[in-house]
């Protein structure tokens, strides 16, 4: 009996220590009472529940077919993780930071992490250089980061879309928190409290509500709506806001969708700010079970048309397994569906420097990967003989 009690005590103690580790290492503090009082003036914040709301509230349901989801997870034949090396190249950082005739250059660092040089301003979007979960053995990367944070050029601006682990990396924030000179942060309502946990200076954080703008060093940054949710634990769902971002400098407009399902906000963004020169649009980790918080491929093309995008860059794919599709399916479907609409799609390899003004767009590199080629062969073999 004593041994059993000791075992239970040990399990309880380990669980408590794990909770403490998570609480202090990864969660970050949520909004305090003063923050909540400030949020109450926002039309998308509910005072009673102390939570933010989507524009279309009934679309918060996540899983519509749980048993089908479990069957697919256990028995599905998808290649969710690359079986061979994930194609990449060493970033040309010297060319990236150089101010030249190209107004917009960028590097894809995986999933939704992009480093953009916009007219000489270095902007890091949703920097995640580690795993996408509070525990290091969950939601691991397809490949190691190409560069550490210390190897990257120092960003002038960091833009965050929301606080999920695949978009907000506590370890990255803690490292930035040690810098004597920190970048400016542009974040949705509520994220400042989390950033302060990791020693990001309060005067470097700009919190915005949807459709609120800030003019900063020649650039206008506007937080835009998204159909999603937030939270870093089981107890803090929707305590902070989620958003997309519109950056306008001179006559060039760049849109970053963040995460979210397809809804009417894309049309509203297009009506208010369109046409948009370049749109970074979410295109992966989807499933019909949760289409209200992550767009399906055909909806990505619809969203591009709604915001009146001249060209798109698919994001939110190619680094983590957060859904059940083949790892290459999002980029293949979006690229194929955009072609009949004459919608240019930019799809660089990991680390490949892209100049928006270059004549030739990057090649569809995933189509030469063994996983894709095997999938194509199997698809052809399954087709009935047409003769």
Edge-to-edge strands, sheet with 104-108 = 205-208, 184-188, 157-159, 121-125, 114-118, 104-108, 354-355
Write the DSSP symbol of residue 25: I
302 phi and psi angles, rounded to 5 deg: -60, -45
DSSP string, 62-101: --S-HHHHHHHHHH-----S-SSPPPB----HHHHH---S
CB 293 within 8 A of CB 228: yes
- What are 124-137's pLDDT values in tens digits? 999 999 999 888 77
| pTM score | 0.91
**For the chain, which residues score pLDDT lower than 50?**
20, 385-387
Q: Which of 224, 141, 152 is nearest to 183 (CA)?
A: 152
Residue 209, CA distances (Å) to 36, 204, 220 in order: 13, 17, 14
Q: Tokens 């060209």 appear where?
A: 311
* Strand extents, DSSP E, 283-356: 312-315, 354-355
Strand pairing report for 312-315 and 114-118: unpaired
Task: Give the per-residue pLDDT at 387.
Answer: 36
Task: Give the per-residue pLDDT at 260.
Answer: 96
DSSP string, 84-149: SPPPB----HHHHH---S-SEEEEE-SBT-EEEEETTEEEEES---S-SSSSTTSS--SS--SS-G
Task: Give the per-residue pLDDT at 11.
Answer: 72
SS3 266: helix
Task: Give the per-residue pLDDT at 112.
Answer: 98
State the Cα–Cα distance between residues 234 and 203, nearest whole angstrom: 30
State the Cα–Cα distance between residues 343 and 162, nearest whole angstrom: 28
Other residues' Cβ atoms within 10 Å of the Cβ of residue 72: 17
Spelled out in words, what is the top-level CATH class assigned to the domain 66-357+366-382? alpha beta
Residue 16, CA distances (Å) to 11, 27, 205 in order: 9, 15, 32
Parse the chain into domains and list their residue ranges.
Answer: 66-357+366-382
CB 147 within 8 A of CB 130: no
């Amino acid at each position: 009996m004593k041994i059993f009690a000791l075992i239970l005590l040990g399990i309880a103690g380990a669980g408590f220590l794990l909770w403490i580790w998570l609480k202090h290492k990864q969660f970050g503090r949520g909004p305090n009472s003063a923050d909540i009082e400030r949020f109450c003036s926002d039309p998308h914040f509910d005072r009673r529940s102390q939570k933010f709301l989507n524009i279309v509230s009934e679309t918060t349901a996540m899983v519509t077919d749980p048993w089908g989801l479990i069957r697919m997870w256990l028995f599905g034949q998808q290649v969710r993780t690359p079986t061979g090396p994930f194609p990449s190249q060493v970033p040309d950082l010297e060319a990236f930071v150089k101010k030249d005739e190209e107004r917009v250059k960028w590097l894809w660092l995986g999933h939704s992490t992009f480093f953009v040089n916009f007219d000489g301003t270095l902007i890091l979007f949703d920097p995640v250089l580690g795993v996408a979960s509070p525990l290091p053995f969950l939601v691991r990367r397809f490949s190691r980061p190409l560069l550490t944070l210390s190897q990257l050029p120092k960003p002038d601006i960091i833009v965050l879309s929301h606080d999920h682990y695949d978009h907000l990396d506590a370890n990255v924030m803690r490292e930035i928190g040690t810098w004597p000179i920190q970048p400016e942060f542009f974040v949705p309502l509520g994220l400042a409290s989390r950033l302060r946990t990791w020693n990001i200076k309060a005067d470097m954080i700009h919190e915005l509500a949807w459709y609120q703008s800030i003019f900063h060093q020649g650039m206008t940054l506007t937080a835009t709506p998204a159909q999603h949710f937030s939270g870093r634990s089981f107890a803090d769902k929707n305590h902070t806001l989620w958003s997309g971002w519109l950056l306008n400098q001179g006559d060039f407009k760049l849109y970053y969708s963040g995460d979210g399902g397809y809804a009417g906000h894309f049309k509203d963004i297009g009506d208010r700010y369109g046409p948009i020169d370049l749109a970074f649009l979410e295109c992966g980790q989807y499933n019909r079970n949760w289409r209200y918080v992550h767009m399906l491929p055909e909806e990505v093309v619809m969203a591009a048309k709604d915001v009146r995008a001249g060209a798109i860059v698919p994001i939110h794919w190619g680094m983590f397994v957060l859904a059940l599709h083949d790892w290459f399916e999002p980029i293949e479907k979006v690229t194929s569906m955009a072609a009949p609409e004459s919608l240019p799609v930019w799809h660089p390899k990991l680390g490949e420097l892209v100049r928006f003004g270059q004549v030739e767009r990057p090649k569809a590199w995933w189509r030469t990967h063994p996983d894709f080629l095997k999938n194509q062969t199997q698809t052809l073999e399954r087709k009935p003989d047409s003769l």
